[in-house]
């Protein structure tokens, strides 16, 4: 199994932050100044900062470096390719000092194992089914219903050595039933059930969502929050209030 890695100030900081805050705020922007401002504003309130495809495609390793000044980094690249290619990409990502890295579970056990071997000091997270997809979407590409596919992929990924699973809030309990309590379960699609947040359930492209407390009660270890924080008038205050609410 992949170990949780150093980010920001190192492994000890990552562990301390994880214990203090389950929040991961997504820095989804291609503007370097905006990314730096968001990272500085919400960094004190999070366990990790997420650098995803938009920021990494536009800014590359500089996005990770900027985020790491404020918190450990979750690099959400969702790698999916042949094992050798994913291993090379995972090793390159790990050299940036990230704490977590995503691969698609549907890439198969050999690919997941290759990523884990190439980045042994980074937690490799296997993404099951995206929160934007539902049963009809999966049927359209010849896959079984969400509930069945998530559990199947989670079990396979755990056996392949993944350090954690990414799934929607409604899938957490079933995933815990398959992988137990040792792995991280990282949950996007978090939509705080408060009228002052800019997004509420059903208002955006994520279909399988829940409020933070529901996800934590089900067994989530980390909550990924993006637009409800980053599009708020005061991201720092919103992140602080969200953390206080779930604490």
| pLDDT 10s digits, 96-134 | 999 999 999 999 999 999 999 999 999 999 999 998 899
Most confident of the ranges 2-6, 106-110, 196-200, 228-232: 106-110
* The pLDDT value given to residue 8: 44
Crossing angle of helices 235-246 and 32-42, rounded to 10°: 40
pLDDT of residue 10 exceeding 60, the answer is no
* The pLDDT value given to residue 84: 98
Q: Both tokens of residue 137?
A: 């979407």
Q: What is the pLDDT of residues 162-221, one digit of tens each?
A: 999 999 999 999 999 999 999 999 999 887 765 555 444 445 555 556 788 888 999 999
What pTM was computed for the model? 0.88
Q: Is 137 exposed, middle or buried (0-12, 13-18, 19+ CB in 10 A)?
A: middle
Q: What's the mean pLDDT when you consider all of the chain?
A: 89
CA distance 162 to 66: 27
pLDDT of residue 236 exceeding 90, the answer is yes
* The pLDDT value given to residue 16: 53
Q: Which of 52-66, 86-100, 226-240 has the lowest mean pLDDT?
A: 226-240
Strands (E), the chain: 23-26, 48-51, 73-79, 100-104, 123-127, 164-166, 184-187, 222-225
* The pLDDT value given to residue 244: 87
* The pLDDT value given to residue 205: 53
Q: What is the mean pLDDT of the segment spanning 34-57?
A: 97
pLDDT of residue 224 exceeding 60, the answer is yes
34, 58, 65, 78: which is the annotated catalytic residue?
78
pLDDT of residue 24 exceeding 80, the answer is yes
Strands (E), 156-213: 164-166, 184-187
What domains lie within the chain, and their CATH numbers?
A: 11-246 (3.20.20.70)
pLDDT of residue 9 exceeding 70, the answer is no
* The pLDDT value given to residue 167: 96
End-to-end CA distance of the chain: 29
* The pLDDT value given to residue 206: 55
Residue 78 appears among annotated catalytic residues: yes
């Amino acid at each position: 199994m992949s170990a949780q890695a150093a980010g920001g100030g190192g492994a000890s900081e990552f562990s301390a932050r994880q214990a203090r805050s389950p929040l991961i705020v997504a820095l989804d922007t291609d503007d370097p100044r905006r990314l730096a401002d968001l990272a500085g504003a919400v960094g004190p309130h999070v366990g990790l900062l997420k650098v995803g495809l938009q920021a990494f495609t536009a800014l590359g390793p500089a996005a990770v470096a900027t985020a790491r000044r404020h918190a450990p980094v979750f690099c959400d690249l969702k790698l999916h390719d042949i094992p050798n290619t994913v291993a090379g990409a995972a090793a390159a990502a790990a050299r940036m000092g990230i704490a977590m890295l995503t691969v698609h579970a549907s890439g198969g056990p050999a690919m997941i194992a290759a990523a884990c071997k190439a980045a042994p000091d980074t937690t490799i997270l296997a993404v099951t089914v995206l929160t934007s997809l539902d049963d009809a979407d999966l049927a359209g590409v010849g896959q079984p219903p969400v509930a069945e596919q998530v559990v199947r992929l989670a079990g396979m990924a755990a056996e392949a050595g993944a350090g954690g699973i990414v799934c929607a809030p409604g899938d957490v309990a079933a995933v815990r039933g398959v992988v137990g309590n040792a792995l991280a379960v990282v949950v996007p699609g978090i939509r705080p059930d408060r009228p002052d947040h800019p997004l509420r359930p059903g208002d955006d492209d994520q279909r399988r969502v829940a409020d933070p407390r529901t996800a934590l009660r089900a067994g989530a270890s980390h909550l990924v929050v993006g637009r409800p924080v980053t599009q708020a008038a005061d991201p720092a205050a919103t992140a602080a209030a969200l953390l206080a609410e779930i604490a």
